[in-house]
Amino acid sequence: MDEVIAECGRREQRSRLLPARVVVYFVLAMCLFSGQGHEEVARLLTQGLERVRQWEKPWHVPTTGA
């Protein structure tokens, strides 16, 4: 995923709560779990990423403004 984002020139310039690859995963997860709210999808996504060791830091659901 990181290679594709870099190839498209869309890599983030600063370290943020939602790295570019996580945003892509989140959009895909929202499509797969369209009956769920964004907070539940975000929770499911981070749990999945923790299992595959792609997410190691504490995480809180971003606010609507984020």
Question: Which H or E element spans position 42?
Answer: helix 38-51
Q: What's the pTM value of the predicted model, to 2 decimals?
A: 0.63
What is the residue extent of each domain of the chain?
2-51
pLDDT tens string 6-63:
787 776 666 666 677 788 888 999 999 999 988 888 888 878 877 777 666 666 666 6
How far apart, in whole angstroms, are the C-alpha atoms of residue 49 and residue 57?
11
Does position 1 have pLDDT exceeding 70, yes or no? yes
Give the three-state DSSP class for 35: coil
The pLDDT of residue 24 is 86
